[in-house]
Amino acid sequence: MRALFSSLLLACLTSPILAAEAPRPNIIFILADDLGYGDLACYGGRVIQTPRIDQMRAEGLKLTQHYSGSCMCAPTRSAFLTGQHTGHTRIRNNGSHLRKSNPALLPEDVTVAEVLKKAGYATGVIGKWGCGESGTTGVPLAQGFDHWFGYLNQTNAHHYYPPFLWRGPSQEDFPSNPELRLHYSHDLFTEDAVHFIQEHAGSASPFFLYLAYTIPHVDLDVPEDSKTPYIGVIEETKPYGTPGGQHYRYEERPHATFAGMVSRMDRDVGHLLDVLRELDIDKNTLVIFTS
């Protein structure tokens, strides 16, 4: 399976016929986290506004049998990165931030980033990783990625105002962020993705960006400007969590918050598409959005 995955991808990227017809495309793979099939308008949703993703559907290809490798975070990501079935890929469970034996990709695991890098692509991953903690062979920079910014640990990724994120091999600290709520991680990821695209847009080499958004996975948390449009519009349920809870935050309006998170992600997917157009690379960039 690993050899087949590698050889097929390399064949597609190095085919003389394809090379003669057009330059190799840039690739942006956007992975939402816990987004339901029917949460998007283009897949039947009637409440949450997702005009930019709906636009992608109208102008592109809608997939209805594009299945996730697993129903859990880490195995899904491992299956995507290695191209293997969940029963064969290295990581088959989420592990725990309390254990030092969390599953991690090993040097012998071949990832899509490694294959693309050998084919001349600049590679970057931004967002939620979950395939290896610091000090293991599973970190992004050891698995074919040149650029890395985000959460290594999945439990840390539950919180949208983190005290730190990883940038390359080091932590980038955000002092007092959990208390002052100054840096919403999703916004930081979008900003970094824009910078990555701008940096590589003029290069002779194509780029591969794996943008692993954490939205709309709990915590249910979004800036007020995204939540407000849904307050009083969407039918609410009982508050989520408990005040002063130890892990997931308490949210009085879970439905409005969830909807606001999805709409914020939709807005930022649209922003990335606009950036591609402004840089005149939209016609040579394959953008995939999934969950």
pLDDT of res. 13: 52
Residue 8's alpha-carbon distances to 76, 77, 207, in angstroms, are 21, 20, 19
DSSP assignment of 14-61, as one string? H-HHHHHHSPPPEEEEEEEES--GGGSGGGT-SSS--HHHHHHHHHS-
- 3-class SS at 214? strand
Three-point CA angle 11, 147, 281, nearest 5°: 60
Confidence of residue 97 (pLDDT cuts 50, 70, 90): low
pLDDT of res. 95: 72
Confidence of residue 2 (pLDDT cuts 50, 70, 90): very low
Interatomic CA distance for residues 68 and 66, integer angstroms: 7
Q: Which domain holds residue 78?
A: 2-290
* DSSP, res 132: -
* Average pLDDT estimate for 11-20: 48
Cis ω for the linkage preceding 206 (within 30 of 0): no
Own/partner contacts of 86-91, CB < 8 Å, gap of 24 or more, are 88/1, 91/130, 91/131
CATH of the domain at 157: 3.40.720.10
Confidence of residue 18 (pLDDT cuts 50, 70, 90): very low
Residue 160 contacts residue 219 (beta carbons within 8 Å): yes
- Split into its structural domains, the chain has a count of 1
Q: What are phi and psi of 212, to 5 degrees?
A: -100, 80
- 3-class SS at 109? coil
Confidence of residue 12 (pLDDT cuts 50, 70, 90): very low
136-140, 151-155, 188-192: range with lowest mean pLDDT: 151-155
Name the average pLDDT for the chain.
90
Residue 273 contacts residue 56 (beta carbons within 8 Å): yes
pLDDT at 262 over 60: yes
pLDDT of res. 21: 59
Closest CA to 96 of 152, 138, 172, 154: 154
Pairing assessment for the beta strands 285-290 and 26-33 based on DSSP bridges: parallel
* Average pLDDT estimate for 250-257: 97
pLDDT of res. 7: 35
Q: pLDDT per residue over 189-229, tens digit each?
A: 999 999 999 999 989 999 999 999 999 999 999 999 999 99
